[in-house]
Amino acid sequence: MKPDEFIDYQALFSEIAIAVQTIDDIGAVASYIPELLEVDPNKFGIHLTTIDNQNYSFGDSNEKFSIQSISKVLALTLAFELEDENLWNRVGVEPSGTAFNSLVQLEYEKGIPRNPFINAGALVICDILVSRLKNPKHDFVEFVRMISANPNINYCSRIAESEKLTGFKNAALINLMKSYGNIENDIETVLDFYFNLCSLEMTCMELAHEFLFLAYGGVNPATDHKVVTAVRTKRINAIMQLCGFYDEAGEFSFKVGLPGKSGVGGGIIAIHPEKFSIAVWSPRLNKKGNSYKGMKVLEFITTRTKSSIF
Ligand code: DON
């Protein structure tokens, strides 16, 4: 199949159903957020939606799961709209090459996180949203719902509370940044917003629909709702490509070749600009904290259809 050739998604999904069973899933469910351990590790769901509204699903694609760090892309999208260029003085756009919750680089770089997707960077984005939004938790979830015209998207207070009890590394990151003057608001308020942000729940179908605007120049093709400008869309996709998988971003580009973002709930969203968005969920994670099977299946898809962006 050549890159622009017709892709028979129906046939592809029949192949995926078989391929999934042949993958030996050697990952482990995230344990540092106690509530995530309650999730059945054998769940597997996938949903692809095209910009012309074709939809293909397999497995547990209609079951809600914790999207965790995937929500950092939505937080960046809103901060990008609300904040001026000063945003980029407070957070960079370079790959970190370090784990998502690493403290090491942050001290060397005087409290300026490498990018908005490592935890430190997302905490700065949350600080900006807390400053800019009147009622941050309410306004943010309304923004998320509006993107895909879906009123059924919500936080999970159980998961947010669970992470609050064990989120010592995030507390360390934000305190370090506060000491360098890169956090404006009260630390507890920003952390509470961040834990709620990470607790957002979606199904694979909802997630694919939510992110379709990034495949269509910033406009949701299903509703014509303009979420962000085309220039910002290009930039958000670029940051996903370079930083969406932390110290495994190179591997994801190498094997899958799409802008994407993972979460420790086992979800991955990937975008093929001008074509589709695809969400996959499989809770067992590899050593870098990204879904083991999710990455394998996405590699299978872009290899089989020759539809990576490269
Ligand atoms: O802050 C944390 O550690 C989690 N709430 C989110 C981390 C995450 O999803 C990393 N992604 N693979």
Which domains are present in the chain? 10-305 (3.40.710.10)
Ligand 1: residue of 96, 124, 264, 281 to mutate (most ligand atoms within 8 A of CB) is 264
For residue 245, the ligand 1 atom closest to its alpha carbon is 12
Of 22-36, 68-82, 113-127, 194-208, where does mean pLDDT reach its minimum?
22-36
Q: How far is the CA of 73 from the centre of ligand 1 (A)?
A: 12
Among 189, 201, 218, 173, residue whose Cα is nearest residue 77: 218
Q: What percent of the chain has pLDDT over 70?
A: 98
Question: Does the beta carbon of 156 sit less than 6 angstroms from any atom of ligand 1?
Answer: no
Instruction: Enter the pTM of the model.
Output: 0.97
Among 234, 296, 297, residue whose Cα is nearest residue 271: 234
* Single-letter amino acid, residue 58: F
- Cβ pair 266, 283 in contact under 8 A: yes
Of 8-17, 144-153, 186-195, where does mean pLDDT reach its minimum?
8-17
Residue 1 has pLDDT above 60, yes or no: no
- Cite the DSSP H helix spans in the chain: 9-22, 71-82, 87-90, 104-108, 119-132, 136-147, 157-166, 168-179, 187-198, 204-210, 230-243, 249-255, 292-304
Ligand 1: residue of 65, 68, 163, 280 to mutate (most ligand atoms within 8 A of CB) is 68
pLDDT single digits (tens) 168-215? 999 999 999 999 999 999 999 999 999 999 999 999 999 999 999 999
